[in-house]
Amino acid sequence: MKKLILSLILALSLSFSFAGEGMWLPLLLKALNEAEMQSMGMRMTAEDIYSVNQGSLKDAIVHFGGFCTGEIISRSGLVLTNHHCGYGAVQSHSTIENNLLKNGFWAMNKGEELPNPGLFVKFIVRIEDVTEEVLAGVNEDMTSRERQSAVDKNINGLEVEKVDYQDYMVRPFFNGNQYFLFVTETYSDVRLVGAPPESIGKFGADTDNWEWPRHTGDFSLFRIYASPDNTPAEYSADNVPYTPKHSLPISLDGVETGDFTLVFGFPGRTNQYLPSPAVKQIMDVVDPARINIRSKSLKVMDKYMRADEATRLKYAGRFASVANGWKKWIGETQGLEQTDALGKKNELETEFTSRILASDELQSMYGNLLPSFEELYANNTPYIKARIYYDETFNRGIQLFRIVRNLDRLKSTYVNNGEEAYANLAERYLSFFEDYFEDYETIIDREVCEVLLNHFYSNLDKKFLPESIIKEDAFMRDLRVKELTHQLFQDEVATIEGVRALLALDGKGFGEAIDKLYAIAFYRGVQDKLKSDISPSYDANTEGIRELQRIYMKALMEVFPERTFWPDANSTLRVTYGYAEGYEPRDAVTYQPVSFLDGVMQKYKPGDYEFDVHPKLIELYEQGDFGQYADRVTGKMPVCFLGSNHTSGGNSGSPAIDADGNLVGLNFDRVWEGTMSDIHYDRSICRNIMVDIRYVLFVLDKFGGAGYLVEEMELVHPKS
């Protein structure tokens, strides 16, 4: 009896789908979320958010370039996204004389908008549940390979209603227990309209990244162009601004604590239903390995960057991307610890086990799941660690190997496809390398190489080391690493001159020349070792884990019928909702949910690369000239705010929408303490960070002088 009551209490606590947690499929909102959303203050219906019959919020949301989210904010196809999402586009238009990243850019009319070959935005026209069709004929006796080929066959056989210029894709959900179809429209004439200078768009850079309080104006603006009939078209001077089915009205009234917020976008990947051994492995093995390796290379870069301004500029981008993951994982491990993620997983698994024990049928289907996970994760631990070491050292850490990898690929092109293919690729590589070496310093890479090889060597089990670096004792190891580093760099493959000379050769000469390079031989040795002694076991374990996870996901849904499940993120369109609210990161510390321009001035460090402030912004601040964008209560200029919306990488650039469907902010980050939300969401410390839309408009209008753009937008005052 006692057990039953416990069960019931647990069941009740689990059935409550907490406000905040979850990345929901737009087409299921009506069934699963509408009531809760409305009880939290939303004044829209599910149909206002997602409808196939009429324009709805979803028609204003785009997958931006496949890696971020954007939203339509005018009837003429204006798209808002983050500065760090538009970064590549802005960079591609920058020259030394005209550095748009540094100075910012504002097109003063449509004629000045800049095309971006390769950039696209994707709309979701319609979503359908196709589980039944995709899983037709699939059964549990099939091997995972048989299952996959049956699924692929069914997907290929789908008859999808769509017009010519539309595409579709089918994606697995709940680890392959459900399948949804997405009909899409992709527009590839996307022009840059505006971006603030980095001192606003990237204010605080890596020091503030993943942190609150935040003061970054992380936005940029684009415009979609279409053929005269409004359908997708390649870039053409004859294209016209796209007319959307819906564009977001913009609220100038802001949010305050307790206001409902919704974030709509394309989160990349979460792992909310992992079993406890997986979470333990992340905390004990995966994150620490990655963090340690990156700490080492960051330390070297930082040393050189601080010593010299030119170096600082060259390495800023690389440093930012290495630091982004590094800092997130540190927060993730701490957050998992702080919220006792493991304890909570164990609790759930204990309940799972006791529920299946109560039924012979469940027991026979699912009784061995948890022990099998335990075993497979344990088996995989040495391999996953080795994989991370190889990846972080040779793919992401030492830049020399990036160069070498490309050269080796070029040789394969010659061998497989002949001289012409070689010549074409060599030309492309040459222009890539001319760029690459602009921001490269051999001295830094050499030092990173020495430090990382040493770490690799000291921490990885000997059986996973490539022949070329095996040596016994520590003294010999240090010497050996120095010697290796010397040999690796001796052929000058890590210089533009060296690469130019190689690429000037014909295919045959090139192949012979690189075969003589020590760095190439070493790199091949590394690859061979990975292929022969690590990948086979790693792949087999991972495949087994994937299969178990599919069954476990199905089991969770059956064993906890009272609970509402949301599918892990998979780069498809999702809705997440919560409140505008602050949090308490640790004892006696409370974070307010809104930051103001005053905070920018408090952080101001003249000349500093992260915290410099543009003179014009200082002037506007001192004049208190915020126009219609000032906060209506305080009169101050809001900059960023926090919410309990469950977001992830890929949600960058997603709109933050108020209870009535108006745009109030632009998502761009999460707080450090809460980055474990990819694995374990906890309402107490998981927060997303958004730029206040009023700051975006203020910068655009008062700072950038592009106020004419505001005229295209629909500004509203829902609170007055």
Interacting residue with ligand GLU among 652, 662, 666, 685 (CB under 6 A):
652
Instruction: Supply the minimum distance, in Å, between the C-beta of residue 579 and ligand ARG.
Output: 22
Interacting residue with ligand ARG among 206, 673, 692, 701 (CB under 6 A):
206
Residue nearest to ligand GLU (CB): 652
In angstroms, rounded to a whole number, what is the distance separating the alpha carbons of residues 248 and 251?
9
Residue nearest to ligand ARG (CB): 320
Helix residue ranges per DSSP H, 560-651 = 597-603, 615-623
320 contact, one of ligand ARG, ligand GLU, none, CB 5-8 Å limit per kind: ligand ARG
214 sits near ligand GLU (criterion: CB under 6 A): no
User: Whose Cβ is closer to ligand GLU: residue 51's or residue 270's?
Assistant: 270
In angstroms, rounded to a whole number, what is the distance separating the alpha carbons of residues 543 and 537?
10
Residue in 577, 715, 540 with CA at minimum distance from that of residue 651:
577
User: Whose Cβ is closer to ligand GLU: residue 239's or residue 576's?
Assistant: 576
Instruction: Supply the minimum distance, in Å, between the C-beta of residue 210 and ligand GLU.
Output: 8
User: Whose Cβ is closer to ligand GLU: residue 389's or residue 668's?
Assistant: 668
Instruction: Supply the minimum distance, in Å, between the C-beta of residue 28 and ligand GLU.
Output: 22
Per DSSP, the residues of 288-333 read HHHHHHHHHHHHHHHHHHHH-HHHHHHHHHHHHHHHHHHHHHHHHH
Residue in 385, 526, 536, 361 with CA at minimum distance from that of residue 453:
526
Helix (H, G, I), strand (E, B) or coil at 353: helix
Give the residues across from 692 on adjacent strands.
665
176 contact, one of ligand GLU, ligand ARG, none, CB 5-8 Å limit per kind: none
648 sits near ligand GLU (criterion: CB under 6 A): yes
The count of chain residues that interact with ligand ARG, using the rule CB under 6 A, is: 10
Instruction: Supply the minimum distance, in Å, between the C-beta of residue 683 and ligand GLU.
Output: 16
How would you class 68 by CB atoms within 10 Å of its CB: exposed for 0-12, middle for 13-18, buried for 19 or more?
buried
Instruction: Supply the minimum distance, in Å, between the C-beta of residue 67 and ligand ARG.
Output: 9
What tokens were used for 709? 């753009």
| 616-637 per-residue burial string, b: 16 or more CB within 10 A, e: under 16 | ebeebbeeeebeebbbeeeebb
230 contact, one of ligand GLU, ligand ARG, none, CB 5-8 Å limit per kind: none
Binding mask 640-669 toward ligand ARG (x if CB under 6 A, else -) reads: ---------x--x----------------x
Sign of CA dihedral 225, 228, 232, 235: negative
In angstroms, rounded to a whole number, what is the distance separating the alpha carbons of residues 316 and 11?
50
In angstroms, rounded to a whole number, what is the distance separating the alpha carbons of residues 262 and 56?
14
Contacts of 96 (CB under 8 A, 6+ apart): none
196 contact, one of ligand GLU, ligand ARG, none, CB 5-8 Å limit per kind: none
265 sits near ligand GLU (criterion: CB under 6 A): no
Instruction: Supply the minimum distance, in Å, between the C-beta of residue 686 and ligand ARG.
Output: 14
205 contact, one of ligand ARG, ligand GLU, none, CB 5-8 Å limit per kind: ligand ARG
Number of residues assigned to the chain? 720
Interacting residue with ligand ARG among 187, 210, 394, 433 (CB under 6 A):
210
Interacting residue with ligand ARG among 33, 209, 393, 654 (CB under 6 A):
209
In angstroms, rounded to a whole number, what is the distance separating the alpha carbons of residues 64 and 495?
35
Binding mask 658-697 toward ligand GLU (x if CB under 6 A, else -) reads: ----------xxx---------------------------
Residue with tokens 């108020």: 658
Which window, 15-23, 112-120, 285-293, 650-658, contacts ligand GLU (CB under 6 A)?
Answer: 650-658
What tokens were used for 673? 């303490």
Which window, 14-22, 204-212, 240-248, 292-300, contacts ligand ARG (CB under 6 A)?
Answer: 204-212
Number of H helices, E strands in the chain: 26, 22
The count of chain residues that interact with ligand GLU, using the rule CB under 6 A, is: 9
Helix (H, G, I), strand (E, B) or coil at 93: coil
Give the residues across from 691 on adjacent strands.
640, 666
User: Whose Cβ is closer to ligand ARG: residue 205's or residue 693's?
Assistant: 205
State which of positions 93-132 bind ligand GLU (CB under 6 A). Answer: none
Helix residue ranges per DSSP H, 393-517 = 399-438, 442-459, 474-490, 496-503, 507-515
Contact 563, 242 (CB under 8 A): no
- C-alpha torsion angle, residues 693, 698, 700, 701 (rounded to 10): 140
State which of positions 354-413 bind ligand ARG (CB under 6 A). Answer: none
Interacting residue with ligand GLU among 241, 254, 585, 649 (CB under 6 A):
649
Instruction: Supply the minimum distance, in Å, between the C-beta of residue 271 and ligand ARG.
Output: 17
Binding mask 319-348 toward ligand ARG (x if CB under 6 A, else -) reads: -x---x------------------------
Q: What's the per-residue H, E or C state across 122-175? A: EEEEEEEECHHHHCCCCCCCCCHHHHHHHHHHHHHCCCCCCCCCEEEEEEEEHH
Binding mask 541-580 toward ligand ARG (x if CB under 6 A, else -) reads: ----------------------------------------
| Distance of alpha carbon 393 from the chain centroid | 21
81 sits near ligand GLU (criterion: CB under 6 A): no
Instruction: Supply the minimum distance, in Å, between the C-beta of residue 265 and ligand ARG.
Output: 13
Please give the positions annotated as active site.
Answer: 84, 218, 652
Phi, psi of 394 (to 5 degrees): -95, -25
User: Whose Cβ is closer to ligand GLU: residue 190's or residue 689's?
Assistant: 689
527 sits near ligand ARG (criterion: CB under 6 A): no
Which window, 136-144, 157-165, 230-238, 647-655, contacts ligand GLU (CB under 6 A)?
Answer: 647-655
User: Whose Cβ is closer to ligand ARG: residue 211's or residue 692's?
Assistant: 211
Residue in 460, 461, 525 with CA at minimum distance from that of residue 487:
525
Q: Which residues bind to ligand ARG, rule: CB under 6 A? A: 84, 205-206, 209-210, 320, 324, 649, 652, 669
Q: Which residues bind to ligand GLU, rule: CB under 6 A? A: 647-652, 668-670
